[in-house]
Amino acid sequence: MAHCLHALCILDSPNGPCLTEPQTEPAVIDAAHLARQRAFSERTFGPGPRTAGILDHIRKELAEIAAAPGDLGEWVDVVILALDGAWRAGHEPQAIVDAIVAKQAKNEARTWPDWRTVAPDRAIEHDRGADIPPPALDESDPRYAAPFLAGMQAARMAIVKRGWTTDAPMTTAEAVAVIGRERAELIHFLTIPDQP
């Protein structure tokens, strides 16, 4: 079926008339729009998760995008299917909108490699190591016995005294020079999560 360029609706759709005139107000995708989309989808495709069916449909749409990457309608089909999957997984329209906004903010805060260093046909992945917060110090943990805690305190004091911050991190050589090799190794130990 052909897509209407004005409103991204299907021409001659049995589910309603196609808008042939451009909309006077810019379209908005909000919780009300998602509720309308959910009602249409449930009425048209039935209730329930339908996860396997949605994934099958997304795979077909991805093949269509690969064949015609400039076709906006095919990209929109994937977006609509993803939104359909989200509500069918039990999420309310406003929660979906909030999750999209939160995910965008999270992505903007992540560390990403220079896009010029990644082949254009490969995914650009964020630095997953930056997502791991340093472990909290628990004085009751035997790994953080008094000598370790004293060393950590000395290391922190040396860092503060030198004025180092997360905006101006110290190098390993600087850490060794200021607080000694043992304390530098301790900082490394305490900020790297245990390996399984």
Write down the mean pLDDT value for the chain: 76
Question: What pTM did the predictor assign?
Answer: 0.57
Domain locations in the chain?
1-130, 132-191
The residue that leads in pLDDT, 11 or 20, is: 20
The pLDDT, as a whole number, for residue 5 is 38
The residue that leads in pLDDT, 108 or 190, is: 108
Q: Which two tokens stand for residue 167?
A: 């905006």
Residue type, 161: K
Q: How confident is the model at residue 127 (pLDDT cuts 50, 70, 90)?
A: confident
Long-range CB contact pairs, 18-22, < 8 A, 24+: none
CA dist 188 and 136 (Å) reads 14
Angle separating helix axes 181-191 and 172-179, nearest 10 degrees? 130
The pLDDT, as a whole number, for residue 126 is 87
- Is the pLDDT at 50 greater than 70? The verdict is yes
Q: How confident is the model at residue 189 (pLDDT cuts 50, 70, 90)?
A: low
The residue that leads in pLDDT, 99 or 133, is: 99
The pLDDT, as a whole number, for residue 147 is 57
- Is the pLDDT at 23 greater than 90? The verdict is no
